[in-house]
Chain A
């Protein structure tokens, strides 16, 4: 009995982990299926676009600006070891567009949006608003999940693009004020070395991260337990799951985009 207890523990947790993956996959498939079924709730979509896209702009912009600045300082001091200070503009641009813009933007959106979606839908669940939707002949997946997931998938790439520009601006600002770069040369270097795919790959990552964030927010909200504790747990799980999935999918996408 004592000898088999650790095995039982491992088995139980493995099974529950696999079951969770199955549930999330089914939820994602159902979301995609509902996307193509009428009616489409335009008002909900527009409100989600505003909430997820427009209102996330300050936090994503600030994150990108400070990251771009810090990146410029790091590359300058690191590059100085082998006389490569001049690469600051191009590495800041590539680092921001390919990696830091989408990942940090995605994580900030996860913190801001996955939590608010999970808390909102979780509260709706515990106050029977989801049941009320069903009794009013409205499919909760179509009314709550589809608009949020679609809005996040479309809005986060735009946020990433804006974040990229602000991040590069942060690097530029530090470059010309603290590292004595020539303003025109900094910009020329940035533009010359940046390729279309650097920006596009980051935006594709942004779309995937946006999908993950809203999906996790809706999934955990819909499965929220009873009471304040249930909603709190749903919110925490949504943020943790979306953050981990963003980092994991970022690695997979980077493998696919840049090593294939």
Chain B
């Protein structure tokens, strides 16, 4: 279970997070929605310790993230970055098996490669992609490789940062389905940030909307269309008119 208690984060005068309180139950999938620049990525990065919060507490299974042993803490997480964040100096299989080639989870290169090929197959990529470099792959394939890397060490918690941004609708659907399948299959706890409502409906058990630095609305996916929250309604229907100011 991940629990964020009163998380604040400012960059200079810009108070991005102003008291975030959210809980994700173990094995559940939470999708965080909200406009660009509302601090969704900052929130994920605070959990991972990539950005230290100014105030508040992050608990993962009751353990305070700030005082946890970093390597053991991070070993519980997998993350799919928005742009893939694949290491372009390494071939695909070494990207996927990165964690298995070094550190506490180190395996022999042959074993790590075998696992990488198996994970690539799981995300719908053939073994011949393994020796290619990320620069030789299309955007959709890079996302799949990123997904394979996120699940390679079988983490308990997986974060997806805008998993369908920049993909065509069909590929976005394929990635959404894959994420859902993998999360269910692994029994992992998932947090996804997205603008894409098709992703929300495909991936979420629970939805939280971030606006003005706080969670504006949260609830199960089944309630999203009858929330009665004007902010959420404006967002999910993509209306220019409403309480959220659209800069034109």
For residue B75, which residues in chain A have a CB less than 8 angstroms away from its CB?
A: 137
A127, B99: Cβ atoms closer than 8 Å: no
A128, B102: Cβ atoms closer than 8 Å: no
Residue B82 is within 8 A (CB to CB) of chain A in the complex: yes
**Assuming A128-B85, A129-B85, A129-B87, is B79 touching A135 (CB within 8 A)?**
yes
**Assuming A134-B50, A135-B79, is B74 touching A127 (CB within 8 A)?**
no
**Assuming A128-B81, A128-B85, A129-B85, is B103 touching A135 (CB within 8 A)?**
no
Among candidates A41, A128, A129, A134, residue contacting B74 with C-beta atoms closer than 8 Å = A134
B83, A128: Cβ atoms closer than 8 Å: yes
For residue A134, which residues in chain B have a CB less than 8 angstroms away from its CB?
A: 48-50, 74
Closest residue on chain B to residue A135 by CB atoms: B79
Q: Chain B: interface secondary structure?
A: mixed
**Which bucket holds chain A's interface residue count?**
10 to 19
Residue A132 is within 8 A (CB to CB) of chain B in the complex: yes
For residue A136, which residues in chain B have a CB less than 8 angstroms away from its CB?
A: 74, 98-99, 149
Query: A125-145, CB under 8 A of B: which get 1 and which 0?
Result: 001110110111110000000
How many Å from the CB of B49 to the closest CB on chain A? 8
Considering only residues 62-90 of chain B, those with a C-beta below 8 Å from chain A are 70-71, 74-75, 77-79, 81-83, 85-88
* Cα–Cα distance between A20 and B241 once the two chains are bound (Å): 47
Query: B84-113, CB under 8 A of A: which get 1 and which 0?
Result: 011110000000001100111000000000
For residue A39, which residues in chain B have a CB less than 8 angstroms away from its CB?
A: 102-103
A127, B85: Cβ atoms closer than 8 Å: yes
How many Å from the CB of A21 to the closest CB on chain B? 23
Query: A112-126, CB under 8 A of B: which get 1 and which 0?
Result: 000000000000100
A132, B81: Cβ atoms closer than 8 Å: yes
**Assuming A134-B74, A138-B102, is B45 touching A127 (CB within 8 A)?**
no
For residue B71, which residues in chain A have a CB less than 8 angstroms away from its CB?
A: 137
How many Å from the CB of A23 to the closest CB on chain B? 17
B102, A131: Cβ atoms closer than 8 Å: no
B85, A138: Cβ atoms closer than 8 Å: no
Size of the B side of the interface (Cβ < 8 Å), in residues, is: 24
A131, B103: Cβ atoms closer than 8 Å: no
B45, A131: Cβ atoms closer than 8 Å: yes
Considering only residues 14-63 of chain B, those with a C-beta below 8 Å from chain A are 45, 48-50
For residue A135, which residues in chain B have a CB less than 8 angstroms away from its CB?
A: 48, 50, 74, 77-79
Among candidates A124, A127, A129, A138, residue contacting B103 with C-beta atoms closer than 8 Å = A138
How many Å from the CB of A28 to the closest CB on chain B? 23
A137, B74: Cβ atoms closer than 8 Å: yes
How many Å from the CB of B40 to the closest CB on chain A? 14
Among candidates B49, B70, B79, residue contacting A132 with C-beta atoms closer than 8 Å = B79
For residue A41, which residues in chain B have a CB less than 8 angstroms away from its CB?
A: 102
B83, A127: Cβ atoms closer than 8 Å: yes
* Cα–Cα distance between A212 and B154 once the two chains are bound (Å): 41
Closest residue on chain B to residue A47 by CB atoms: B89
The chain A residues found within 8 Å of chain B, CB to CB, are 39, 41, 124, 127-129, 131-132, 134-138
Q: List 24 A-B contacts (CB under 8 A).
A: A39-B102, A128-B81, A128-B82, A128-B83, A129-B85, A129-B86, A129-B88, A131-B45, A131-B48, A131-B50, A132-B86, A132-B87, A134-B49, A134-B74, A135-B78, A136-B98, A136-B99, A136-B149, A137-B71, A137-B74, A137-B75, A137-B99, A137-B103, A138-B98
The chain B residues found within 8 Å of chain A, CB to CB, are 45, 48-50, 70-71, 74-75, 77-79, 81-83, 85-88, 98-99, 102-104, 149
Q: Can you name 17 extra interface pairs (CB under 8 A) apart from A132-B87, A135-B74, A137-B70?
A: A39-B103, A41-B102, A124-B87, A128-B81, A128-B82, A129-B85, A129-B87, A131-B50, A134-B50, A135-B48, A135-B77, A136-B74, A136-B149, A137-B71, A137-B74, A137-B104, A138-B102
